[in-house]
């Protein structure tokens, strides 16, 4: 089997590449310019030399057509596009174009080539918006509250339309928050972990956070890429919510991280109103029972385990 991973340099792309290599796949990853990209996450996982890398501009149909025609993959995983909710408020146009153009160009190429390529699209639990303390499932309406969520919702409906109108094997994984040491520090979970570790080692820095009352469903990223692969092994394409089913406040995440070192997070943290988002989701939680029933996937690691593993990895990086 041969898989093309668009967005292989990111957290999910790197973990997915490792998983597919372990399953005996030939793995090809794309980047806008593979000659200058560092692919640091692939290096960190020790798989950089096991992956073939291609330059491909996902917003350019001809570029996508040339690469996919030459590679002839059995599966395509679309994990590319601007991935930060916070940044999307500052870059709404780039966020929309990077997510939407990539999705439609990849599916148009599959349709044009008329080959049985299975297509996975990375969705987001952000699409549901505020569910009023209810866990979101596949039938929960979308009420996106950020430019990022709007773009992901539009891409979701594109995938559904191509599946129904053109018969493509196409599906979207509606993934809730999933973290790992491969997250950059602009993501709040890694920001908290990195700050806690540095402060425990003597740093006098202050951790600046926005709204710590928000609640999120946090899982472990290496487990979530297994769900992506399982979706493409079914007889037909279908959409699935992927989540732990448990939600915790951001304050709880910070409290656990600092408590690991015997510290009180509030003694080292400032709440910065400038970090608050223009619109935010008070509560996010996913109901992944359909994924368990139809693919056998279930999250094994909840928030406490995520915090512990991220701390261990952060401390190892200091060595």
Q: Could you tell me which residues come within 8 angstroms of residue 307 by beta carbon, excluding any fewer than 6 positions away?
A: 193, 253, 256, 257, 260
Judged by DSSP in three states, 271 sits in: strand
Choosing from 75, 126, 238, 255, which is the catalytic residue?
Answer: 126
Sequence-distant (6+) residues with CB within 8 A of 134 are 140, 285
Rg (CA), the chain: 19
Element (H, E) at 290: helix 289-295
Strands (E) located in 131-197: 170-175, 178-179
| Residue 148 among the catalytic residues | yes
Record the tokens describing residue 15, joined without a space: 């973990």
Of the candidates 101, 124, 180, 195, the residue annotated as catalytic is 124
Distance, CA of 305 to CA of 313 (rounded, Å): 12
Catalytically annotated residue among 77, 148, 224, 283: 148
Tokens at residue 177, please? 């928050």
CB atoms within 10 A of CB 67: 20
Using alpha carbons, list the distances in angstroms from residue 280 to 75, 126, 142, 222, 292. Answer: 34, 10, 14, 26, 29
Give the neighbor-by-neighbor strand order of the sheet with 26-31. 52-55, 26-31, 2-6, 75-78, 118-122, 170-175, 240-242
Give the bridge partners for 69, in sequence order. none
CA pseudo-torsion sign 235, 241, 245, 248: positive
d(CA 203, CA 316): 17
Any catalytic annotation for residue 126?
yes
Both tokens of 294, joined, read 């139809």
* Catalytic residue ranges: 124, 126, 148
């Amino acid at each position: 089997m041969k898989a093309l991973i668009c967005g292989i340099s990111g957290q999910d792309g790197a973990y997915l590449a490792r998983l597919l290599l372990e399953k005996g796949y030939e793995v090809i990853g794309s980047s806008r310019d593979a000659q200058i990209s560092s692919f640091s996450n692939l290096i960190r996982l020790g798989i950089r030399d096991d992956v073939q890398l291609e330059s491909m501009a996902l917003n350019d149909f001809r570029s996508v057509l040339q690469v996919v025609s030459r590679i002839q993959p059995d599966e395509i995983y679309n994990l590319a596009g601007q991935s930060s909710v916070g940044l999307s408020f500052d870059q709404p146009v780039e966020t929309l174009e990077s997510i939407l153009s990539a999705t439609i160009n990849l599916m148009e190429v599959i349709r044009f080539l008329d080959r049985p390529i299975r297509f996975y699209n990375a969705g987001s639990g952000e699409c549901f918006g505020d569910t009023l303390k209810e866990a979101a499932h596949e039938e929960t309406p979308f009420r996106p509250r950020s430019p990022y969520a709007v773009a992901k919702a539009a891409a979701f409906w594109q995938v559904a339309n191509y599946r129904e109108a053109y018969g493509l094997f196409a599906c979207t994984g509606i993934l809730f928050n999933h973290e790992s040491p491969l997250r950059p520090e602009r993501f709040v979970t890694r920001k908290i972990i990195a700050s806690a570790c540095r402060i425990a080692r003597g740093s006098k820095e202050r951790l600046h956070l926005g709204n710590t009352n928000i609640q999120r469903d946090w899982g472990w990223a290496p487990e979530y890429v297994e769900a992506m692969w399982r979706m493409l092994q079914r007889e037909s394409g279908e959409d699935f919510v992927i989540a732990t089913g448990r939600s915790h406040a951001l304050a709880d995440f910070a409290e656990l991280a600092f408590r690991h070192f015997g510290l009180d997070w509030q003694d080292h943290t400032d709440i910065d109103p400038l970090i608050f988002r223009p619109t935010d989701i008070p509560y996010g939680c996913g109901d992944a029972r359909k994924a368990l029933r139809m693919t056998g996937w279930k999250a094994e690691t909840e928030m406490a385990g995520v915090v512990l593993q991220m701390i261990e990895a952060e401390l190892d990086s200091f060595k």
